[in-house]
Amino acid sequence: MTETFGELDHPPRLLMGPGPINVHPRVLRAMSVQLLGQFDPEFTAYMNQTMALYRQVFDTQNRWTFVIDGTSRAAIEAALVSTLAPGEDAVILNAGRFGLLLAEIAERCGARVHTVEGAWGTAIDPQAVEDVVKRVRPRLVAAVYGDTSTTVAQPIAPLGEICRRYDALLYVDSTATLSGMPAPVDAWGADIVTAGLQKCLGGPSGSAPITISDRAAEHIFSRRHVERGLVAAGTVAGNRGPRIASNYFDLAMIMDYWSEKRLNHHTEAANMLYAARECARVALEEGLEARFVRHAAAGNAVVAGLQAMGLTVYGDPAHKMTNVTGVYIPDGIDGERVRARMRHDFEIEIGSAFGPLVGKIWRIGAMGVNAQKYAVLNTLAAFEAVLRWEGLGVPPGAGVDAALKTYEAGT
């Protein structure tokens, strides 16, 4: 007998972890629009519109601003494999899981990786970065703006200044922060910045915005190799620098597809393009400054509520991300049992942790469509109830009251 399983029909869950989060209804509607051919003039017009929209979201004038088909990690890998040739030096800031990821991908590119180490839960001192960059003179410096594994935001502007002084490219992973925290790409002096839809942008994972400076584009195009099957008869492909090791993540070829040439590289994921386009439209219609304020208000309310329950927030408060909060699991409390009860009894998801923080903290996110008062208050109320059921002496109503006061005070 053929097993076809059932139609997808799970209950609507409030996703208040570090991402993914609930998708904005307008984005879901956009994804249901019928496909077009990848060279259809109407479709390529959507591509151009998406580029224009994300220039505004990234606060940049970069011509090369578009989306990579794939999760946020696809854009990370495209950025690193397209800039780092084997044997080149890269300086990576490492103070969390995703700094380690950047280092691993750079190593897979064959680069010589030099890490600037910081303790989890802290930001890295820019002077420590400059000391290594001055000594190494790398091709690339790479950093995570907001690392959801530690809930800490790394200051980026000083890194841009360092990279200009020592003629290095600056790559920034802004997966968890784009449209939720300020990301002024041009003011930073960043050369490549990537993101994902599934965090503050309020979309599904599967399309990754990227912006590339002219300086970085010139370097990437120095490695351009036209795919053999696209070379016209009687012409010679202009092979120059060392070929980019990945075909799928070859930014030089992808940029040719997004340019006026429309040189075929892949079949564009149409529904994900629609999603990315609508995510940007939603963000810009709200206004980026208003959006930053909304995320900060939600984050402040989460912190106030947790502290009122007698819990301890994790990480350096001076460099905390606004949209994700880490909180220590109290002694004697089973963290995974609490998460399970949040899901089973309230249909709310909160996050666990990675690496050295496994079993030590929960992570609560408030971003995108979920960075709103009702979502924060419902999450805190459910969290408080579960903690009391698990035997923790939490003052009844304290968390919700404290969070509500921050909203009323506008802090």
Ordered by start, the domain boundaries in the chain are 23-283, 288-409
Q: Count CB neighbours of 135 within 10 A.
A: 12
**If DSSP codes are grouped into helix, strand and coil, which group holds residue 113?**
strand
pLDDT of residue 225: 86
Query: Does 3.40.640.10 match the CATH number of domain 23-283?
Result: yes
Q: What pLDDT, on the 0 to 100 scale, is given for residue 237? A: 54
Contact 129, 161 (CB under 8 A): no
- Report CA-CA distances (Å) from 157 to 143, 163, 164: 11, 10, 11
Phi-psi region of 104 (alpha: psi -120 to 50; beta: other; left: phi over 0): alpha
Q: Are 131 and 181 in contact (CB under 8 A)?
A: no
Q: Tell me, what's the pLDDT at 161?
A: 98
| 3-state SS, residue 68 | strand
Residue 238: the pLDDT is 56
Sign of the torsion formed by the C-alpha atoms of 196, 29, 26 and 7: negative
Identify the DSSP state of 114. E
- In the prediction, which pLDDT does 229 show? 80
Strand partners, 65: 211
The pLDDT score that the predictor gives to residue 230 is 79
> pLDDT per position in the chain (411 positions), as tens?
788 899 999 999 999 999 999 999 999 999 999 999 999 999 999 999 999 999 999 999 999 999 999 999 999 999 999 999 999 999 999 999 999 999 999 999 999 999 999 999 999 999 999 999 999 999 999 999 999 999 999 999 999 999 999 999 999 999 999 999 999 999 999 999 999 999 999 999 999 999 999 999 999 999 988 888 877 755 555 557 889 999 999 999 999 999 998 988 889 999 999 999 999 999 999 999 999 999 999 999 999 999 999 999 999 999 999 999 999 999 999 999 999 999 999 999 999 999 999 999 999 999 999 999 999 999 999 999 999 999 999 999 999 999 999 999 986
Starting at the edge strand found earlier in the chain, the sheet holding 112-117 runs: 64-69, 207-212, 192-194, 169-173, 140-144, 89-94, 112-117
CA distance 113 to 111: 6
pTM of the model: 0.95
Q: Does domain 288-409 have CATH number 3.90.1150.10?
A: yes
pLDDT at 227: 83
Q: What is the pLDDT of residue 233?
A: 58
- Which structure tokens are listed for 288? 């980026």
- Antiparallel, parallel or unpaired: β 152-153 and 192-194: unpaired
